Amino acid sequence: MKTGICIAVLICISVFYSCKKDENNPSGPAASVSSVSSLLTSHYWRYYHGSGTEIRDTSGDGIPDTAYYSITPDSCLADDRFYFRTNGLFIKDPYLVSCSNFMDTMTWSWTSDSTVIILDSDPSKIINLTSTQLKLGYAFTIASPYEFIRDTILMVYP
C-alpha cells in the first residue's frame, strides 16, 4: 500500500483536473485561456494535501476492495516549489530539502477551452484555480476492471 501511495503522490503531482469559475464571479463568463494561464504561471505552487480512493481486488476474491487515503507532504515534498512557466515547462524546484525521487522538468499545455491541462501527455482537469489555491484531480485505470485510482491534490501559494 505504501508503494501505491508513493505512486499516487507522483502521479498527483503530474496530473491535473477541471476548471471551475472563480467563486467571486459565479455568474460571469468562463475564464479565457490567457487569464487561466496568468493565474497558473504568476508564481510558484506548493503541495499542501492530497486525498484519494483506490479500488482494487486486494484479497484476490474477485470482489473490488475500496481504500480511502490522505497524503500529507513529508519533509522532502513540503518545501518543494512547482512552477508552470509560460514557455510550456513545468519545473519542480526542491528548494531547501532536496530529494531525487522524481523528475524535475516536464512540459505542459492547455486544451483549447483551458479546462484540461496536459502534463507530459497526461490530460488532467483543474477543479479550482485562484491566485492562492490550485485544486487538481485525476482518475485512471491501472488494470481493468478492478484497479482504479481517483485522487485530488491541493497546491497553495505561498
Distance CA 126, CA 115 (A): 6
**Residue 102 gets which letter from DSSP?**
S
pLDDT of 121 over the 70 cut? yes
Q: What pLDDT was estimated at residue 108?
A: 94
Residue 11's pLDDT band, with cuts at 50, 70 and 90, is very low
pLDDT of 19 over the 60 cut? no
Which CA distances in Å does 21 have to 33, 86, 120? 13, 21, 25
Across residues 65-81, what is the average pLDDT?
90
Q: Is the peptide bond before 64 cis (omega within 30 degrees of 0)?
A: no
Q: Of all residues in the chain, what percent carry a pLDDT higher than 90?
A: 37
Q: What pLDDT was estimated at residue 3?
A: 37
Distance CA 134, CA 154 (A): 6
Q: Which residue has the cell 479546462?
A: 115
Select from 3.10.290, 2.30.110, 1.10.287, 2.40.128 the CATH code of 2-156. Answer: 2.40.128
* Cβ contact 85:41 at 8 Å: yes
pLDDT of 88 over the 80 cut? yes
Threshold 0.75, pTM exceeds: no
Highest mean pLDDT: which range of 10-24, 106-120, 133-147: 106-120
Domains of the chain, by residue range, sit at 2-156
Helix (H, G, I), strand (E, B) or coil at 91: strand
Residue 107's pLDDT band, with cuts at 50, 70 and 90, is very high
Q: What pLDDT was estimated at residue 95?
A: 86
